[in-house]
Structure 1
Amino acid sequence: MSTTNDIVLDRKPEAPAAAAPGFDWVRLVPLATVIAILTLWWFASTRGWVSRVFLPSPLAVLNSAYQVTVSGFADSTLLQHLLASLGRVFGALAASIVVAVPIGAIIASSRIGRGIFDPVVEFLRPLPPLAYLPLIIIWFGIGEASKVLVIALAMAPPIIIATAAGVRSVSRDRLNAARSLGATRLQLLRFVVLPSALPSIVTGIRIALGAGWSTLVAAELVAASRGLGFMIQSAATFLGTDVVILGIAVIGIVAILFELLMRALEKRFVPWSTHL
């Protein structure tokens, strides 16, 4: 005869009840943070906590955005400044990808290549762009080439390091399996190495874009007539704090949009990535 304790022990544990679907309030945290910053900014400028010369109100910055968009600033509209900066950044990115991806693959696959390129990459990687900007100007002048080169030098190390890491992570079993099926070196590179390393390469490009935008202002300090960095520097010369804040905000917003675009492209074209 079973006792009450036996009945309790024999009973199967009930599955926990599914949580009732509801609104995820955590999603509102970023929005709340932005609202809090804007509110604090508004009170600091309108209540006189900080002089409006040093911190104009959000409304003043919006008014400056309209004026720069319609009438321009430093002989160019906001769109023209933005397009000039985008041209430099994407020109530098294209040059960096063309040079950095092969160098990263060589570093990962050849001891001689690692010995040649690795010291150069490790030397350039921690250097701030302002350190070698004067040397670039001496060598290449003050034209567009020097600006693009400075940004490209800041972009290349992340792509090289990410590419080398991606190539090293290729499974030996996959390589041996492809070789056993008669794959040539070119087929190994195209169908095994490149797809396996592509997620790391895309991550390196995302990091490089951030480095490029952070270098943009330094690159446009030299004999530029258009660009967001040039606009910021020109406004700072005349204490145009509202235009300075506008330029910083535009750079930040565009950088965020590019990051979101890179994530979308990664999900679309690199669905096998494990770090999405």
Structure 2
Amino acid sequence: MLQEVFDVIVTTLRMVVGITIIMAVFLLVSMGLSYLHGLYARGRGAAKGYTSLKTVTFGDESAVTANRFASVAAIVTIFLLWCIATGSSLIPTVLPPPFVGETEFEYTARNAQGDTDTATVFVQVYGSDAERPDKPESMPLGEGFAKNDYVQIVERRTKVLKAQNNDEGGKEDGYEVIEINGTPVTREETVPFGKGEIYMTKQGSLSVRPSTGLTMEALYLPPPEKVWSSFITLNKEGYQGVGLWENVFWSLIRVVIGFSLGCLFGIPLGFAMGLNSWLRGWFDPIVEFMRPVPPLALIPLVIIWFGIGEQGKISLLFLAALWIMTIAARAGVSGVNISKVHAAYSLGATRRQLLSKVILPNSLPEIFTGARVAMGVCWGTVVAAELVAAEKGAGKMIIAASKFSLTDIVIIGIIIIGVIGYGIDVLMRMAENKLVPWKGRG
């Protein structure tokens, strides 16, 4: 138990170090670009607009707007880091790539009689996307008991060479490989050679590992050009018999329906809880109990209740949005300035007028904020919802591709979901600015 906890702590600390390094690099680039942008802006004269007239802007939320240059620079920086990390052909080589090509090394063996002999191993390393090259038709084996050999290895992979099976007398007691390129080696020891390293196993075999470089393997993160090529193929041929945009369409339909149902029932429920103490007490335990339950935990129950059809998927998305919209509407009602309520009553407003003219308009900012959060949660849940025996959907495409380690298709699905989610969020912000122009103005 204690060892397991210790392992978790060590893993966490490693993650903290890795995340800190990544964030530090990203922020250093941001600081450098911010300085250059400041010099550029200073050279073009004083700032303009209402905000430039303010003497104090720190802490004033209305004075802080997104710098579009910073947004574009951040995207470009992420793209460049992606290219650098994967050794993309779109930019000059920054990190050393994995070795691909021909190399060789020599090993010295000692047989049972105590004689020594040297043999050469020719190594052919080929790319993971390339076809396996043909082996040479003939190769000099050597005159002694140690025979030359030839191995083919995929880049970043390891190949075990059993010299004892290749050499004369290699299976006799006393046979041993004692040197690699003139460097003494013993069992369970690693010896470097020009294009990689060689590890001698407990059984005396040689595990050849060519240099892997510092770039990431395409299995974990493919370069941008490979993702783009896969996107073109998906756009033309689809995946597993379903078109790319058909998958996206079905995911979008499910999210919109589930989100709409969540708003339809969540907003009135939140208003009721914010305006009536009995209903607040009646629904509060349910809402507060369900709010922290992740939608993924409800999948088994949804399958039992609704089966594996569309009803189950939409129900899961509905539950993901319902509690968020309920709490947002309740918070919006609770946040209405009481002086506005008193002013409305003093002018003779009825309860219906108070609800429609005061409470609803002043609750809309909170409701829109909740809607944006709920939409994001729904997009995150749609992948899990489409695990429930879906035949179409971006989430289904991502899950199916992950089973075959098709990382490029997984990344395409993630990017599409992110772009559509961001587009929906932009539309909702535009609608908020149009419908709630009084937000932040008291």
TM bracket, shorter-chain basis: 0.7 to 0.9
Pairing of 1:75-94 with structure 2 (within 5 A):
75-94=241-260
Query: What residue is the counterpart of 2:357 in the other structure?
Result: 191
- Asked if 1:30 is matched to 2:39, the reply is no
Q: Please say which of residues 199-208 and 47-56 is displaced more in the overlay.
A: 47-56
Q: What is the CA–CA distance in structure 1 between the aligned matches of 2:413 and 2:312, rounded to whole Å?
A: 22
More helix by share: 1
Q: What is the CA–CA distance in structure 2 between the aligned matches of 1:178 and 1:22, rounded to whole Å?
A: 41
Encode CA deviations 1:103-150: one digit per residue, 9 max, x unaligned: 101111112111121111111111111211100110111111111111
The letter of the residue matching 1:231 is: M
Say which one has the larger Rg: 2
Query: What residue is the counterpart of 1:203 in the other structure?
Result: 369
* Cα distance, 1:178 vs structure 2: 2.8
- Asked if 1:20 is matched to 2:45, the reply is yes
* Cα distance, 1:22 vs structure 2: 6.6
Q: What is the CA–CA distance in structure 1 between the aligned matches of 2:276 and 2:322, rounded to whole Å?
A: 19
Query: What residue is the counterpart of 1:12 in the other structure?
Result: none
- Asked if 1:150 is matched to 2:302, the reply is no
The letter of the residue matching 1:149 is: S
266, 274, 296: which is aligned to 1:100? 266
* Cα distance, 1:266 vs structure 2: 0.6
The letter of the residue matching 2:328 is: A
Query: What residue is the counterpart of 2:424 in the other structure?
Result: 258
- TM-score normalised by structure 2 residue count: 0.55
* Cα distance, 1:173 vs structure 2: 3.1
Query: What residue is the counterpart of 1:218 in the other structure?
Result: 384
- TM-score normalised by structure 1 residue count: 0.87
- Asked if 1:45 is matched to 2:45, the reply is no
* Cα distance, 1:215 vs structure 2: 0.8
The letter of the residue matching 1:205 is: A
Query: What residue is the counterpart of 1:10 in the other structure?
Result: none
Q: What is the CA–CA distance in structure 2 between the aligned matches of 1:55 and 1:180, rounded to whole Å?
A: 64
Moved over 6 A (4+): none
The letter of the residue matching 2:250 is: A
Q: Which runs of 5+ in 2 are unaligned?
A: 1-43, 49-66, 88-96, 99-214
Q: Which runs of 5+ in 1 are unaligned?
A: 1-18
The letter of the residue matching 2:46 is: P
Encode CA deviations 1:44-78: one digit per residue, 9 max, x unaligned: 32334222222211011111111111211122212
The letter of the residue matching 1:35 is: V
Q: What is the CA–CA distance in structure 2 between the aligned matches of 1:104 and 1:153, rounded to whole Å?
A: 14
Q: What is the CA–CA distance in structure 2 between the aligned matches of 1:173 and 1:164, rounded to whole Å?
A: 19
Encode CA deviations 1:9-38: one digit per residue, 9 max, x unaligned: xxxxxxxxxx92379xx5433322222222
Q: Residue 349 of structure 2 aligns to a residue in which SS?
A: coil
| Matched positions, count | 257
Pairing of 1:92-171 with structure 2 (within 5 A):
92-171=258-337
- Asked if 1:237 is matched to 2:403, the reply is yes
Query: What residue is the counterpart of 1:248 in the other structure?
Result: 414
* Cα distance, 1:162 vs structure 2: 1.2
203, 224, 240: which is aligned to 1:74? 240
Encode CA deviations 1:74-101: one digit per residue, 9 max, x unaligned: 2221211111011011101110011001
More strand by share: 2
Q: What is the CA–CA distance in structure 1 between the aligned matches of 2:83 and 2:337, rounded to whole Å?
A: 55
Query: What residue is the counterpart of 1:15 in the other structure?
Result: none
The letter of the residue matching 1:34 is: I
Q: Please say which of residues 112-121 and 226-235 is displaced more in the overlay.
A: 112-121
Matched residues, percent identical?
41
Q: Residue 123 of structure 1 aligns to a residue in which SS?
A: helix
* Cα distance, 1:227 vs structure 2: 0.8
Q: Residue 122 of structure 1 aligns to a residue in which SS?
A: helix
Q: Residue 221 of structure 1 aligns to a residue in which SS?
A: coil
Q: What is the CA–CA distance in structure 2 between the aligned matches of 1:242 and 1:220, rounded to whole Å?
A: 20
Q: What is the CA–CA distance in structure 2 between the aligned matches of 1:39 and 1:168, rounded to whole Å?
A: 46
* Cα distance, 1:177 vs structure 2: 3.2
